[in-house]
A and B are shown apart, each in its own frame.
Chain A
Amino acid sequence: MAAVDYKALKNGGFMRQKQKENFSLRLKVVGGNLTADQLMTIAGAAKKFGDGRVHLTSRQGVEIPFIKLKDIDAVKAELLAGGVSTGVCGPRVRTVTACQGSDICPSGCVETYPLAVEISERYFGRELPHKFKFGVTGCQNNCLKAEENDLGIKGGYLIKWDKSLCTLCGVCVKACRASAIKISKEALELTEGACNNCGRCVKACPSEAWSGIPGYTLSFGGTFGNRIAKGREVVPITADKAVLFRLSDAAVGFFAERAKPGERFRAAIEREGWDVFSAAMRRAYDG
């Protein structure tokens, strides 16, 4: 058998187990989506090369434990033939997670899965000073916990009210959780600054008087392991995907250039200063 290169193993998502010569094989999953065929492939590999078990990770990943060192090439080939790639660990861009988003969920404001795929294609596996996690959640219900991630993306609506269509029915007043809408017998009043872009007025409005443009709110520097800190929003919501990617490029670039080896994004931002980081993001936002 060839000499074991643990680093190469780790690149390929082979997590060393307590049990000698056994590895838990991390698979590539984007946005928590797998096809039934991919699941069959994974099931087959777990039975053939593992101990018949599959572990679902905390970040929508799948790992097959008890893979033997000698089977590494065979299991990878078999998985690949069934459309399943191996994941990554170590100081890289990790699995991009996502909720089901507006394709499936009635609450969703943005299409999370296509965005997760785009982000994954752009960044997945990129080597950085430390791990870097992206998460995409479709609305303010935040099922995907955007702020846990180094870069979290949360869907929302930029809302607009059309007086001519409004019946003053009162539904939006109740649907709005930010108490931004007041209504009387003859008028509706929106407190712009209070709107949190949740889009619940648009979703609930029975007469299409409220309309919304899908937008993205980004949070930076979230971490939820050894240290727990919520990602922060430093620029306003944007409806422009190009702006979103300018921001993510700038954030990943900031991390790559400024962080010390082994330093998490959050720690790097804090050491450099939130003001410095925010200014960099503002520049990216403004283009």
Chain B
Amino acid sequence: MDNFAADFVIDETVDITDVVCPITFVKVKVALEGMSGGQIACIRMNDGEPAQNLPRSIKEEGHKVLKLLDNGDGTYSLIVRKAG
């Protein structure tokens, strides 16, 4: 988290690198439901399908995607502001 902590204040961190679709989305949804509107989540995910598709799913759920960061280790971090 440290490499971009300067840009975003992260309220909640979610790691979905240990699960596959559709649990990836479920895990994120559950985490976001536990947060307040306007809070920022950092979701760490694997390259490939999650990195390609999760940003869109988050958008369709009405949240605001702020940034997709390449961690350089085969994972990406998606910074999301919870709706509301």
Contact = CB atoms under 8 A, between A and B. Distances in A.
Given A169-B68, A177-B52, A204 B76 contact: no
Interface string B46-74: 00000111011011100011111110000
A243 interface: no
Contacts of A175: 52-53, 55-56
A279 interface: no
Contacts of A165: none
A1 B4 CA distance: 83
Interface residues of A, number: 14
Given A169-B66, A169-B67, A206 B52 contact: no
A174 B65 CA distance: 13
A106 interface: yes
Contacts of B69: 170
A77 interface: no
Most chain B beta-carbon contacts within 10 A, residue among A167, A170, A171: A171
A241 to B, nearest CB: 27
Given A170-B69, A175-B53, A204-B59, 9 more contacts: A167-B66, A170-B67, A171-B68, A174-B52, A174-B68, A175-B52, A175-B56, A177-B52, A206-B58
Interface string A144-176: 000000000000000000000001011101110
